[in-house]
Every structure is written in C-alpha cells, then in structure tokens.
C-alpha cells in the first residue's frame, strides 16, 4: 500500500460512527499518580496487568476504534502472552503511540511551556511502525491566566505540532494533533473561548505552512469550558461555545475532532460530548479521545487486584459504550444505571 492509501485507510478505521479513541498513553509519572489514587504502586508488571486487562475487555472494539499507547506498552505482551498491538488488532482496534517527550519551560516566557521530542522522531516512528503503530499523538499545553499564554508560546508550540504532523504523514502514520488549553484556573468560559480560538488559528496556520494534509489528521482539542475554579457551565453552554469556536477556525477538510477530557469527570465528559452532538450536523465527526474520563472507573474497580479484572473490564466497557452513544447525541443520564 502506498503512503496516501495507508493514511486514508487508517483515518477510515479511526473515524467511525459510534466509536472514539482511548488514550492509555500515560507517561510513567502520570500513571504512577493515577495508580496512587487507587492505592497501587506503579511497576512495569502492574502497568502491564492493568493495561492488558482493559485492552482485552470483550467487545471493546464496538466502541473504541483506536488506542493511544505509551512506548512501554507497545512492546509488552498481554496477560495471555499476546503482543499488545496484536491484541488490539484482534479486537478490531487500531494501535497508536504517543511520541512527544513531554514539556519543559519555554525560555523567556515565564509560566509558558513548550513540548519537545522532534529530535530523532523519524527514527522512532520507524521503530513504532514496525511494532504495529498506525497513528501517533503529540500534545501541546497552553496555560490560561490574565496574561498567558504568550504570543511566543502560541507560535512556538504550533510550529512544533505542525512539524511533528508533517513527519508522521511522510511516514504513513496518521497524526493526532493535540493542542490542550488547560482547564486549571478561575477564568471564564469566554476567556477560554478567546484563547482556544487564537491557539487553533495558529495551529492551522502552522499546519498549512508545513503542508500537512488536513484530510489525513485528527484534531484532539480541549472543549471550551470555564476554568475548574470557576462556576461550572451547563453542557449546553459548553457545547455552544465549543462549536462556535471550532466553526470559525477548524477547516471542514479535517475528518474528525476527538476531544480530550482534561480533568472533567467521566459523567461530565459524556454529557458535554452528547450536548455537542445534539447541536446538529457539523463538517467534522465529533468524538472522544479520553484518558481519565474513560479509565477512572476501571482503575477504581481494579485497585491493583487481578481478581477484580472482570469488574474493571465491565467499568471500561460501560464508559466506552456511553461515550459511543454521546458520539451520536443519544446518551441520557439514566443510561448510567
């Protein structure tokens, strides 16, 4: 298959009605934090046990089209001794991989950060592709305050995100382009809308400069919400603000927008996605690529004990199914019971 066909086929598999993406690509410090919350010490074996359990939940492929893995998991075997990428393929799920190397302070821009990891990216992508990955993820973060993010941060992060996306496409790997505007702070939903619009505008300008094919990428943004220390907005308010911003700045050629959950509770993230999909037809598929909002209940159910495996899988499937419904605006809170 040529590179263009490869990209088109991966997009086709990832963007499906009733389905979204599971982000299970937490770095070692992040997964240690999640495990700590359920009383589990993070170790390679515990990470393997937990991730193997949730990824082998029977029927997961009905609601999950792709899973973003961390490098370690791409090379691990399941509890049944099947390589994880192979396990996913057998579930009808496309394996993906987080490729950025995290963030560090942006010099001369106090409070802002820059995502790193472009050095050697091509070589790493080749290894990941041989191991079975067909798509990738790179996350930029933008802090909101009265003065942040600075113009420097918006431009510098957009530039690295676009360069990453161009390298991925040249190698037949679909890039997930993730500019996350953080929920931390006490800002209003209007302030989040302004920052999100400026960030997305800059990201799409950078993608155009680097000749990224919009048809062969997925956007993974944050929803437009008030800061978490501000009053909560209703799902309808979040949906209206989010779709208004996106209609202004996200070209119709982008096939799919898969939101991150960014600290929303599992129920909030499902309600908000449902409200977004209730606003009527939009140019792009509007779905999910949640980490915490899909996994929190499963982690609680597992709590580090293999005997709780079936309960963890059930919890995983439940969130996947409910978000699958939200993907078409057919979720209702009664379905939680």
Which residues in this chain contact ligand 13P in the complex, by CB under 6 A? 23, 139, 178, 260-262, 290-293
Question: Is 220 a known active-site residue?
Answer: yes
Strand 103-105 and strand 113-115: the pairing is antiparallel
Q: How far is the CB of 80 from ligand 13P (least distance, A)?
A: 26
What dihedral do alpha carbons 240, 255, 220, 121 form, nearest 10°?
-160
Q: How far is the CB of 260 from ligand 13P (least distance, A)?
A: 4
Q: From CA 32, how far away is CA 48, in angstroms rounded? A: 13
On whether the CB atoms of residues 154 and 180 are closer than 8 A, the answer is no
Residue with tokens 């890039």: 175
Residue with tokens 């382009």: 177
Residue with tokens 């937490």: 26
Q: From CA 125, how far away is CA 330, in angstroms rounded? A: 38
Q: Which lies closer to ligand 13P via its Cβ, residue 16 or residue 258?
A: 258
Give the SS3 label for residue 43. Answer: coil
The residue whose Cβ lies closest to ligand 13P is 291
Selection from 329, 323, 332 nearest residue 65 by Cα: 323
Active-site entry in 26, 220, 240, 318: 220
Q: Which lies closer to ligand 13P via its Cβ, residue 6 or residue 327?
A: 327
Strand 94-98 and strand 113-115: the pairing is unpaired
Q: Report which secondary-structure segment, H or E, holds 124.
A: helix 121-130
Q: How far is the CB of 128 from ligand 13P (least distance, A)?
A: 16
The DSSP bridge partners found for residue 218 are: 176, 256
Q: Which lies closer to ligand 13P via its Cβ, residue 32 or residue 79?
A: 32
Give the SS3 label for residue 66. Answer: strand
Active-site entry in 26, 49, 178, 240: 178
Q: How far is the CB of 34 from ligand 13P (least distance, A)?
A: 9
Q: How far is the CB of 5 from ligand 13P (least distance, A)?
A: 27
Question: Is 178 a known active-site residue?
Answer: yes
Provide CB contacts within 8 A for 217, sequence distance 6+: 165, 169, 174, 175, 176, 177, 207, 254
Residues labelled as active-site residues: 178, 220
């Amino acid at each position: 298959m040529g590179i263009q066909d490869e990209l088109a086929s991966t997009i086709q598999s990832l963007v499906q009605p009733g389905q979204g993406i599971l982000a299970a690509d937490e770095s070692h410090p992040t997964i240690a934090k999640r495990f700590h919350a359920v009383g589990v010490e993070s170790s390679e074996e515990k990470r393997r046990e937990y991730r193997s359990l949730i990824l082998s939940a029977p029927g997961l492929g009905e609601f999950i089209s792709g899973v973003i893995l961390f490098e370690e998991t791409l090379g691990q075997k399941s509890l049944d001794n099947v390589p994880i990428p192979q396990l996913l393929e057998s579930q009808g799920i496309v394996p993906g991989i987080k490729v950025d190397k995290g963030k560090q302070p942006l010099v001369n821009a106090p409070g802002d950060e820059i995502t790193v990891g472009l050095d050697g990216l091509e070589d790493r992508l080749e290894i990941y592709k041989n191991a079975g990955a067909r798509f990738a993820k790179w996350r930029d973060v933008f802090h909101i305050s009265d003065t942040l993010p600075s113009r420097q941060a918006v431009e510098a992060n957009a530039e690295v995100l676009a360069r990453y996306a161009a390298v991925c496409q040249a190698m037949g790997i679909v890039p997930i382009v993730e500019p996350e505007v953080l929920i931390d702070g006490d800002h209003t939903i209007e302030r989040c809308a302004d920052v999100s619009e400026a960030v997305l505008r800059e990201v799409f300008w950078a993608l155009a400069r680097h000749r990224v094919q919009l048809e062969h990428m997925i956007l993974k943004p944050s929803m437009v919400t008030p800061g978490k220390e501000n009053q909560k907005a209703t799902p309808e308010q979040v949906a209206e603000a989010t779709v208004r911003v996106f209609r202004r700045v996200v070209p119709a050629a982008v096939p799919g927008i898969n939101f991150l959950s960014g600290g929303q509770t599992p129920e909030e993230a499902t309600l908000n996605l449902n409200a977004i999909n209730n606003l009527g037809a939009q140019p792009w598929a509007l779905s999910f690529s949640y980490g915490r909002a899909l996994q929190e209940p499963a982690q609680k159910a597992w709590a580090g004990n293999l005997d709780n495996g079936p309960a963890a899988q059930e919890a995983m499937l439940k969130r996947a199914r409910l978000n699958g419904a939200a993907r078409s605006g057919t979720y209702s809170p009664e379905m939680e019971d």
